Amino acid sequence: MNRDMQGLFEALKHDFYQQMPSAEAIEHLFQAHGPIVNDHIALRTFDLAKVNMMQLARHFIAGGYQVKGEYQFEQRKLNAIHLEHISGNLPKVFISELQIESFSAGFQNLIRELVAEVDEQQVLAENFPYSGRLWDLSYDEYLRLKQESEYGAWVAAFGYRANHFTLDINRLTSMNELQQVNQLLQDNGYQMNSDGGLIKGTAQQLLEQSATVADHVEVIFTDKTCSLPGSFYEFAKRYPMSDGTLYQGFVASSADKIFSSTNS
């Protein structure tokens, strides 16, 4: 446990604000209703050995995190894990990876070419979880990837960074229902992810989630600059298990819909 977790999350948050310009305004909106506590962040990558999800996870494991859950998303062709800190006092970390061999030869070759540009020292560096894009990418290449996978195109365009932070609704003092949360956001002009309904999950599943759609930000390609969906804000309400403690895992069917927040 020699990794500074507080410093890592501060750096991830600083980068997140650059990819979601409305994030601070959203947090300000909820400050009157209680403390702004982060339930979890999410990171994305490819399942190639050099950069797979365990390469990201190692940066958190070095600071006292442990893998607590595994998930599969067959339709999106993703594997995922979630990690929790041994103290129970830090945000959870959800990391997913794209199964590139599930795609066309052209798609696979392009992803392998991009990842080949990543140096091993960049993966080991402390800033790897928020290092951004570590390869050159043209807009045409982005569009080619997007034809087969929105997720793959997003990772190719944005690289390594939190694609969302999550407001812990259980920690708010005067707004404890996601319906209230969603209404406040909509009343203030924020567009919500409606894939599968505004609220994903149920009390019976022990987790309810909702999310904004990603803010558009400028992305610099080798041949042009374009506005693309960057990062978004999620909101989570957890319910107690039979032992009275709050459920800390994730519901794959709900998470599947949350991924849609970065669709263009």
Segment 59-79, tens digit of pLDDT = 999 999 999 999 999 999 999
Segment 196-233, tens digit of pLDDT = 999 999 999 999 999 999 999 999 999 999 999 999 99
Residue 2: the pLDDT is: 61
105-112, long-range: CB within 8 Å, 24+ apart, which pairs? 106/144, 107/144, 107/145, 107/148, 107/149, 107/152, 110/141, 110/144, 110/145, 111/46, 111/48, 111/145, 111/152, 111/156, 112/48
- Cα–Cα distance between 73 and 95 in angstroms, integer? 13
Q: Note the pTM of the prediction, 2 decimals.
A: 0.96
Segment 103-121, tens digit of pLDDT = 999 999 999 999 999 999 9
Kindly list the structural domains of the chain, giving each domain's residue range(s) and its CATH number in brackets, ordered by start: 5-262 (3.10.180.50)
